[in-house]
Amino acid sequence: MTARRRHVDVAIVGAGPAGLVLANVLHRAGVRVEVMERSGRAEVEQQARAGLIEHRVVEFLREHGLADRLLVEAGRHGWCEFAVLGERIHIPYGELSGGAGHWVYPQQFLVRDLIASLEKAGGTVRFDCPVLEVDTTGARPLVRCRDEVLAADHVVGCDGPRSTVASAFPADMDGAVERRYPYDWLTVLAEVDRPVDGIRYALHGAGFAGMMPRTSRLARFYLQVAPDADLADWPESRVREQLRLRLGLQPEAGDPRLGRLTEVGMLRLRGLVRHHVRAGRLLLAGDAAHVLTPSGAKGLNLAVADVADLADSLLRLHRDGDEDALAGYERRRQEDAWRTQEFSDRLLELLHLPPGGAAESAFGLRLRRERLARLSVAGPEGELFARAYGGAGRLHHAPAAPVA
C-alpha cells in the first residue's frame, strides 16, 4: 500500500507543551500545521511532570488565549523556604522580583488544555503516530509515518532528548555539551492530607530533599541519592523515613501528612545543550534542544520560551515573507539555554553538600545558611535570584493573532 502524501507549512513532532504551544500559535495565525505524537492521547494527557509555570510564560499564554483554565484553577505562588541547621529561611521571591511569581499547575493539565484549545480552533493532533524518518534529501524535508508522508516547509522537533528530528541533522551538526552530576534524585508523587503551602528545599547532612506543591491532594518530593542508585534499595519505609528526617516534616505544626505514594522513580541528573538547534529547514525546541535538571523548575518554562521565539520567526517567514526571520533563532536559544543551565547548576550547588565527613558537612551547611540569608532580603543578590527563579520579564515573541 502506498502511503498518501500531503504538504504542510510546518510539521511538529511531539505533543508536549512545546509542540502544542507552537501549534496553537501558528494555527491561529493561519499557518498550516500538523502535529504528530508517538504516544496515545490518554498517556500524553495523564503524564505527571512539571508543575510550576513562570510569570513570563503565563503572560505569554494569556496573551495568546491559552491560559483561560489555568488562570481559574491554578494557585499563585511567590515564596520558597530553605530548611538548614534547624532553621527555615523564607525567600519571598515574588515580592523581591517585583511580582514575578509562579502559577502552580501540573503539566498534564496544561497539555490537556492546549490539546482542547487546538481542537476548538480546528487543528488536530495525530496521536499514536510515531515518526519513522525525516528525509532531508529533497528540496523540502519529508516526514514519514506509517500511513502518510508529509512534505513540510519546516519540521520542528519537540520530541525530547532522543529526537527523531535531531537524528536527521547532518553528522557535522550533531552532538552536544553535557554534564552528568555526581548524584541523582529519587522522585516521589504522594497523596497528602492537606495542600503543600510552598516549596521547601532541605539542606541536610544526609542529603538534599525537596517538597513541591502540585494539587490540593498531591505533592512532589525529591531525595538526593548516590549516582546510579538502584530503586530496589529504596523500599517505601526508607523513602518515608528519609523524607521525614531531611524535610523535618511536622504534621502537628502544619506540614502535610504523607498518604499513598502513587509514583516512585529515579531521575538521573544531567544537563545538556545541543551544538545546533537548526539545520536548514529542521529546527529543535524544548528537550530536543536541551536537557535541564528539575532544579529551579526550568524545563517546561524554557521549552515554552523556545517555541514563543520560534513562532515569532516562523510567522514572519510564512505570513510576512521575511526570508531572514530564522537567522537569529539558534543564537538566541543557545544563549537562553546556557543562562538557564547556569541558574539551575548554581541552585544545585547550593542544595548539595560536597563530599566529606561530618566536619565538612557542618562547615558547608553553615556557609549555605549565610548565603541564603542574603538571598532572603532586598538587595542585589536577593533580587537577582528572585527574578531568575520566578521568571521575570517577557518572552521573545510575536503579538497574538486574533482568535475567531
| Each residue's pLDDT tens digit, 363-396 | 999 999 999 999 999 999 999 999 999 998 888 7
Q: Which domains does the chain have, with CATH numbers?
A: 4-51+106-180+270-351 (3.50.50.60), 184-268 (3.30.9.10)
Question: Is residue 73 within 8 Å of residue 105, measured between CB atoms?
Answer: yes
pLDDT at 349: 95
Q: At a CB cut-off of 8 Å and minimum separation 6, what does 55 contact?
A: 97, 99, 100, 101, 102, 390, 391, 392
The position carrying cell 553535557 is 178
Q: Which of 404, 402, 403, 398 is nearest to 320 (CA)?
A: 398
Q: Which of 64, 61, 65, 18 is nearest to 37 (CA)?
A: 18
Question: Is residue 183 within 8 Å of residue 267, measured between CB atoms?
Answer: no
Question: Is residue 276 within 8 Å of residue 236, measured between CB atoms?
Answer: no
Q: What is the mean pLDDT of the chain?
A: 93
pLDDT at 3: 64
CA–CA gap between residue 285 and residue 332 (Å, rounded): 12
pLDDT at 329: 96
Partners of residue 299 on adjacent β-strands: none
pLDDT at 319: 87
Distances (CA, A) of 170 to 175, 331, 396: 10, 18, 28
Per-residue model confidence as pLDDT tens for the chain (404 residues): 456 789 999 999 999 999 999 999 999 999 999 999 999 999 998 887 778 999 999 999 999 999 999 999 998 999 999 999 999 999 999 999 999 999 999 899 999 999 999 999 999 999 999 999 999 999 999 999 998 999 999 999 999 999 999 999 999 998 999 999 999 999 999 999 999 989 999 999 999 999 999 888 999 999 999 999 999 999 999 999 999 999 999 999 889 999 999 999 999 999 999 999 999 999 999 999 999 999 999 999 999 999 999 999 999 998 888 989 999 999 999 999 999 999 999 999 999 998 877 778 899 999 999 999 999 999 999 999 999 999 988 887 656 665 44
* Helix, coil or strand: residue 118: helix
Sheet holding 199-202, edge to edge: 87-91, 80-84, 199-202, 209-215, 218-225, 184-192, 258-267
Query: Sign of the C-alpha dihedral, residues 175, 176, 182, 183?
Result: negative
CA–CA gap between residue 55 and residue 350 (Å, rounded): 23
Q: Which of 262, 245, 247, 244 is nearest to 190 (CA)?
A: 262
Question: Is residue 224 within 8 Å of residue 348, measured between CB atoms?
Answer: no
Question: Is residue 311 within 8 Å of residue 26, measured between CB atoms?
Answer: yes
Partners of residue 278 on adjacent β-strands: 283
